[in-house]
Amino acid sequence: MSRHPGLRGVLIAVACAVGLVTAGWSDADAAGRRGGGGGGMSRGSPARSGGMSSRPAPQRPAQPSTRQAAPAQRPATQTSRPTTGSDRSAQQQGSSADRQGNRQENQGERQDNRDEAREDRQDYAEEAREDRQDYYDDWDDHYYYHDDDWAEAMVVGVTVGAVVAAADDYDDDTTTTVTNVTNVTALASLPCEASITVANGINYYQCGSNWYMRAYQGDAVVYVPSGPPPSK
């Protein structure tokens, strides 16, 4: 990488393009090739992973499920926190006499509110700890047992050739670890009969004005939006 300092910028730019361009997730089971058997049967199953912990995922049809689902429920237990702030603000807009007269009462309310907020925070922290403990202890559960339970993904490993292919003399074996998380939305299958353009050993799939590259997700090859091949 140090031999080609400018390539890093190219890499990041194309990686960002990958992250910015998103497309819908096609049903993995309908795709047949990866999600289902030849007869259209779904391979998805909580038993597939042979895990020894089990946390039932939502039954289909369901919105794409993520582990964020549980934290999203937390605001229900946190409602006193923003309310506390707004109450206090409202009280501070009262007259001076009111403030004087109500100071003791307000102090008491604030104390109550603080106590309540502290308890909420403690509850929240305790739940967060328990969630983390679940997450760690149940690492082999089957929460994402449908391939499309996590359409929203991030690049965790290495990105290569395709995104640095602008340098003709670049060594294809040289790779670069992506340290910045690049979010992508992957497709189990291409949305069209794509035409393929090979550039520097990388296959680019074109559907209309959209370009895709292959990526590896779970146990399958998927497609992620990309920019056009370097020569385009």
Partner 1 sequence: MIHKRTRRLARPAAVLAVLTVAVAVVPARAADPTPAPEASAQDRAARVLLLGMAEFMARAPAMSVTMRSGYDAIQADGRRIEFGERRRIHMQRPDKLRVDVERSDGERGTVVFDGRWITAFKPAENVYARVEKPGTLDQVLVYMVRDLRATLPLARMFTTGFPVDLDKRVTSVAFVEECSLFDVPTDHVAVSSAEVDLQLWIAKGPQPLPRRVVITYKNDAGEPQFRADLYDWSVPAKFDAAAFVFVPPAGAEQIMYLAPRPPVDVPTGPTGEQR
Element (H, E) at 91: helix 80-92
Query: In this chain, which stretch among 2-10, 101-109, 112-120, 136-144 interacts with partner 1, using CB under 8 A?
Result: 136-144
Residue 38 burial by Cβ neighbours in a 10 Å radius (0-12, 13-18, 19+): exposed
Establish if 188 lies at the interface with partner 1 (CB under 8 A).
no
Q: Which is nearer to partner 1, 60 or 103 (CB)?
A: 60
Query: In this chain, which stretch among 1-9, 20-28, 93-101, 131-139 interacts with partner 1, using CB under 8 A?
Result: 131-139
Binding mask 16-55 for partner 1 (x = CB under 8 A): ------------------x--xx--xxxxxxxxxxxxxxx
Establish if 158 lies at the interface with partner 1 (CB under 8 A).
yes
Segment 69 to 88, residues that bind partner 1, using CB under 8 A? 70-71, 73, 76-77
Establish if 127 lies at the interface with partner 1 (CB under 8 A).
yes
Establish if 121 lies at the interface with partner 1 (CB under 8 A).
no
Residues touching partner 1: how many (CB under 8 A)? 71
**How is residue 14 written in tokens?**
């194309």
Compute φ and ψ for 188, nearest 5 degrees.
-70, -30
Residue pointed to by tokens 């050993």: 201
Q: Which is nearer to partner 1, 97 or 139 (CB)?
A: 139
CA-to-CA distance for 215 and 15, rounded, in angstroms? 13
Element (H, E) at 155: strand 152-155
Establish if 13 lies at the interface with partner 1 (CB under 8 A).
no
Whether residue 75 has a cis bond before it, omega within 30° of 0:
no
Name residue 225's beta-bridge partners. Answer: 212
Name residue 187's beta-bridge partners. Answer: 223
Establish if 186 lies at the interface with partner 1 (CB under 8 A).
yes
Establish if 218 lies at the interface with partner 1 (CB under 8 A).
yes
